[in-house]
Structure 1
Amino acid sequence: MVTAFNRRTVLVTGAGLTAGAALPGIAHVAPAGRVGFTLNAETLDGGEQITSITLETSRIGPLDPAGLTTGTFSVHVKATSPIDTGGQDIGYDLDRPVTAALLDRHGNIVLELSHGEGQIGGGTLGYIGSKGRNVRLDLGYTVTQNTPVRLRDGRPISFAGFRQGRSANPEVDAFSYHASRSGMKYRLYSPSSGRGRRPLIVWLHGGGEGASLPDNYYDNETTLRGNRGALGFATPEAQSIFDGAYVVAPQSTSAWMDDGPRFAPLIHEIIQDVLRTQPVDPARIYVAGCSNGGYMTVKMTTVYPTTFAASVPICGVVTARRAGDPPLVPDAELTAISTPTWLVASRDDATVDPQANTVHASELIPRATLTLYDHVVWNGHQFLGHFSWIYVARNDPSAGGTHLWQWMAGRRR
C-alpha cells in the first residue's frame, strides 16, 4: 500500500482489492476506478467528531445494498497537529470501527463510524496545553476494501483505491467567513426565514477557541467546532423562538481575558459591520459566551451599556486571574450593569470557581437571574463541571416557567 499525505488529502492506491483481482469462489471481479470520499462531521456537545464517510460511488451504477456489511470496508485514521505542540502528543493513529454500511439516495456508500461523547479517535480538534488552544487536526483517512460490492445484476465490483476529499459539517458550513476592517475574524449565520429586521446573537467563545498568532494559526473555525455554543442558536428550534436571528461568532486573536478593554471595541466593530450589511434590529442584539467568553460577555455590557437587549455569561471570570491582580470586572462595574443578565454555571466547576465568579456577579448585577447546576449531564453523559454552556446550547435553563431562549427573545433594548 502506498499512501501520500498532505493536510487535507489522502491518496491511497492498492488498498485492499485491486481492479480485476481474482477472489476465492469468484471467477472475476469487475474493475472500477479510484473513488473519492467525504468525511462527514458533527459538532457534539463535547466537540466535533467525524461520524461517517461517504464513498462517491453513485457513478458506478446501481449497487445492491444487501451486499454491504460492516466488514466490507475498513477505516483507519492518523491525526496530527498542524503546529508545533512543544512535545505534547495530541493526535492519534487507530482504526475506526464501522458500525453500518448503507447506500444513500444518490447511490453513494455511507460508512457509519463508531462515535460518541468522550470517544477517542473521532475528534477533529486537539488541545495544546502549553498554548491553551484547540487546533484542527490534520486528518489522514485510509479506506480499505475487504470484499467486493455487487451491482444489482450480481456482478462483483472492486475499486482501484480511495481518495480523501473535504470534511463536511452542515451546521458549521452554514456560517460564512468574514473579517472586520481591524482584522478580527468572525463567522456569521444568516437566517433563512423571518420578515423585517432580525435579531442578532453574539456568541463569544472560550479560551481554547482563540487564535495562536505566534504559530500563525488563526483558523476562524474552532469557534464552531469546539462546542455547540454558537450552533445552538442556529438550530431550527432557536430560529423559531427568535423568529429568524443572525448569529455572529467573533474569534479572538488570543484569549479575551488577555486584554478585554482592547478586544471590546473590536467586537463592537464586528457588530457594527453586521448592522451595516444585514437587516438587523438594533433593539434586539443579544450577547452570550462561555468561560473566557463569559468574562467578555460581562465586559461588553460594562463598556457598551446601551447596546445589548440581554446578556448570558456562562461560567465566566470576574475576579482576579492571579493573587495580587485587580479583578477583571470590579464590583463597581458589576453593580452598574443595566443590561438584563442571566448567568449560568455548575457547582462542580473545577476550572472557574462558580461561587467567587458567577454567584458573586449575580449578587451584584441588578435584577440578575442565576441558574446554578449541580453537575453537567446531557443524554446520560457527565461532562466536566466547566462545560455548563451545554445547557445554554440546549435551552435548558429556566426560571419562573420561562426558558432562557424565550427570555432572551422577549427582551428589547
Structure 2
Amino acid sequence: MEFVLGAETLDGGEQVTSLTLPTARLGPFDPASLTTGTFGVHAKATSPVGTGGQDIGHDLDRPVTAARLDDHGDIVLELGHGAGTLGYADDRGRNFRLDLAYTVTQNAPLRRRGRPVPATPFTQGPLVNPEVDAFGHHMSRSGMKYRLYSPAAGSGRRPLIVWLHGAGEGASLPDGYYDNETTLRANRGALGFATEEAQAIFDGAYVVAPQCTSVWMDDGPGFAPLIHEIIRDVRRTHPVDPDRVLVAGCSNGGYMSLKMTTVYPDAFAASVPICGVVAGRADGDPPLIPDAELAAIGTPTWLVASLDDDTVDTRVNTVHAHERIPGSKMTLYDEVVRHGHRFPGHASWIYVARNDPSAGGVHIWQWMAANRR
C-alpha cells in the first residue's frame, strides 16, 4: 500500500511534515495500540544532479511526534522538522528538488480486540503539498514556465499578482533542470498571496509565478518581455483587471520587480521589491538599475529589507533606491525573526508573505490592494 508524503512550505522552505498510511481498509483497531513508537520513519534525500562532491541531501531517521487517525480511518504520522525537500548547490547557486526515498517500518503491531492486525508492507507514494498543488503548471509561447493560482469563482475582474523569485529558484539548463517547482517550494513568497487571508484582502486575486531560465539579473531587459508575455497570456485567458496588476519579488526578483516598472512604466498598479539589487553585482560594475531609471519610476513602490542582510547590502541597494524613487515607501527591519527563530537577514520576504510591513496604520497587502494603475 502506498503512503502519502505530506509537505508544507514553511518560512525556511518546504519540508515533509507528515505521512498518511492507507490503513482504513484494514478495519478498526484499538486506538491504544497506535503510539509514536508504532512506526519508524527513515528519510534519504539525494541530489538529482552532480554537485562536485557537495552533499546537499540527508540520510536520517525522522522523529514521529504524533500518531493519529484521520476522518477516513487512515493513520497520520506527524514528523518533527529538520529535513527539507530542496538542497542548495553552492557551485550552481541553485536549489534543486531532492530525490526522496522514505521508508516506514512497523515496530509494534496494531491490535484489534487484543489480537495483532496482520502487518502490511508500505511503499512510498506521491508528495502532496496542498498550497503548491493549488497552482497550475503552464508554459508561455516563448518557453518560459510559470505557475498560476486562480481564485474562487466570482463576478467581476480580479487583481493579478506577479511574484518574481530569487536567484536560487531559477532553472539550471546545463543540468537539464527546469522544474517549475522550486519557485513555490523554497519560500512562501507566492504562496502568501494565495492564502485565505490575502485572498480576502485582495477580493480574490490571481497569482502568477514565472520561473527564470537562469537568473533575472543576467539579462533583466531581455527577461522583461518574457514576463510581460505571461502577464498578457493570463489577462487574455482569465478575467484580470488590467488596472490592478501588481508585481513583487525577492532578492534577484526584487531587482526584477523594479526593472519591470522601468521597462513597462504604465503596466503595474504597485511594486514591492524585497531585498532587491540595484547596484552592480560586483564592486566597480555599473549599476543594474541606474539612478536616472530609478528617478523615473512612477509606479507606487514599497521597498522591504533587513539591515542585517549579509547577502545584499541594504544601504547601497534598498535605501539607495528608496532615496531616488519618487514617493516610495520603505520598511527596514533590524533582523528577521519569526516565532522566536532568527532567520538569515536576507530572508525579509518572510515578513511580506505574512503581511507584516506597515506604514501609517496600513499593512502592505492592504496598500497593494488599494492601488490602481
TM-score, scaled to structure 1? 0.89
In the TM superposition, residue 91 of structure 1 has moved relative to its aligned partner by: 0.8
CA-to-aligned-CA distance 1:243-284 (integer Å, 9 cap, x gap): 000000000001100111110000000000000000000000
SS of the equivalent of 2:50 reads coil
Pair 1:149 & 2:107 matched: no
1:135 aligns with 2:101: no
Offset from partner CA, 1:44-91 (integer Å, 9 cap, x none): 000000001000111111233221011100010111000111111101
Please list, as runs of the form range in 1=range in 2, the aligned pairs for 1:377-388 lying within 5 A after superposition.
377-388=337-348
Confirm or deny: 8 A CA contact 1:36 1:164 kept in the other structure.
yes
Task: Note the C-alpha offset of 1:323.
Answer: 2.6
For 2:150 and 2:15, locate their aligned partners in 1 and report how far apart those are by CA, in whole Å.
24
Task: Supply the distance in 2 between the matched residues of 1:260 and 1:254 (Cα, whole angstroms).
Answer: 11
Give the deviation of 1:412 after TM superposition: 0.3
Q: Letter of the 2:40 partner, please give it.
A: S
Greater shift after overlay, 389-398 or 59-68? 59-68
Matched, 1:219 2:185: no
SS in 2 for 1:201: strand
How far, CA to CA, are the matches of 1:168 and 1:285 in structure 2? 30
Query: What whole-Å deviation, never above 9, does each CA across 1:205-232 have from its counterpart, x for those lacking one?
Result: 0000000000000000000000000000
1:77, 1:139 within 8 Å by CA — same for their partners in 2?
yes
1:291 aligned onto 2:251 = yes
Counterpart Cα distance in 1 of 2:337 and 2:269: 29
Select the residue among 135, 145, 166 that pairs with 1:185: 145
3-state SS in 2 of match to 1:357: helix
Match of 1:75 in 2: 41
Report what 1:123 is aligned to. Answer: 84
State the identity as a percent: 75
CA distance in 1, matches of 2:118, 2:332: 57
Q: Residues 339-350 of structure 1: matches in 2 within 5 Å?
A: 339-350=299-310
Q: Which residue of the partner structure matches residue 411 of structure 1?
A: 371
Q: How does 1:14-413 map to 2 (within 5 A)?
A: 35-115=1-81, 119=82, 122-151=83-112, 153-413=113-373
* Letter of the structure 1 residue corresponding to residue 233 of structure 2: D
The SS at the match of 1:307 is coil
Q: Which runs of 5+ in 2 are unaligned?
A: none
**Does the aligned pair in 2 maintain the 1:172–1:231 contact within 8 Å?**
yes
Higher Rg of the two aligned structures = 1
Unpaired runs of 5+ in structure 1? 1-34
Shift of 1:193: 4.6
Aligned twin of 1:5:
none
Q: Distance in 1 between matches of 2:268 and 2:174?
A: 33
C-alpha contact (below 8 Å) 1:194/1:243 kept by paired residues: no
CA distance in structure 1 between the aligned counterparts of 2:221 and 2:119, rounded to whole angstroms: 58
1:26 corresponds to: none
Q: Structure 2: how far apart are the matches of 1:330 and 1:375?
A: 28
